[in-house]
């Protein structure tokens, strides 16, 4: 059995959310790991919210579905499939809600030896507990980390 090869990446994560003409944005940079297991690719990194809230984030890609999995102070699982509606779940210590995404675009380009930069782009409309939260654009810029 071969152990999956892990590659360190630097990444910039940017989200833009538009709801009723209002735009909300946030961005952060961190390092993560990209590895292949079975027929799927995994990108894993840590998100920090506020002063002391950390969430381990995994993006799983099988060539068609991109699944976002967050574990830590927030639990979330949401799959994105281009031109499809998908259901998910968002959980905090206070409550658990169903989520829904209507995904317009999913683009995944991993860095390669020939092209050391990659990207992930998702554009979707999102609902939390039946309430629309707006149109979301998520962009990740990926780059091979120097050892």
Whether 23 maps to a domain, the answer reads yes
Its pTM stands at 0.90
pLDDT score for 118: 95
Asked whether the predicted pLDDT for residue 119 surpasses 80, the reply is yes
How far apart (Å, rounded) are the C-alpha atoms in residues 39 and 31? 23
CATH number for the domain that contains residue 112:
2.40.128.20
Contacts of 15 (CB under 8 A, 6+ apart): 25, 26, 27, 136, 137, 138, 139
Whether 147 maps to a domain, the answer reads no
Whether 1 maps to a domain, the answer reads no
Whether 29 maps to a domain, the answer reads yes
pLDDT score for 1: 43
pLDDT score for 3: 53
Per DSSP, 95 falls in state -
Q: Give the chain's domain count.
A: 1
Whether 48 maps to a domain, the answer reads yes
Structural domain span for residue 116? 6-139
């Amino acid at each position: 059995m071969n152990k999956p090869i892990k590659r360190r990446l630097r990444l910039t994560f940017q989200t833009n959310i538009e709801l009723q003409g209002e735009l909300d944005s946030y961005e952060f940079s961190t390092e993560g790991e990209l590895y292949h297991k079975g027929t799927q690719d995994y990108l894993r990194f840590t998100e920090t919210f506020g002063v002391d809230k950390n969430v381990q984030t995994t993006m799983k890609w099988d060539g068609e579905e991109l699944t976002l999995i967050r574990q830590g102070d927030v639990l979330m699982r949401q799959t994105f499939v281009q031109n499809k509606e998908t259901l998910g779940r968002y959980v905090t210590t206070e409550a658990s809600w169903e989520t829904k995404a209507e995904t317009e675009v999913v683009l995944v380009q991993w860095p390669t030896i020939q092209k050391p930069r990659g990207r992930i782009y998702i554009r979707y409309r999102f609902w939390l507990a039946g309430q629309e939260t707006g149109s979301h654009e998520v962009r990740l810029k990926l780059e091979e980390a120097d050892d």
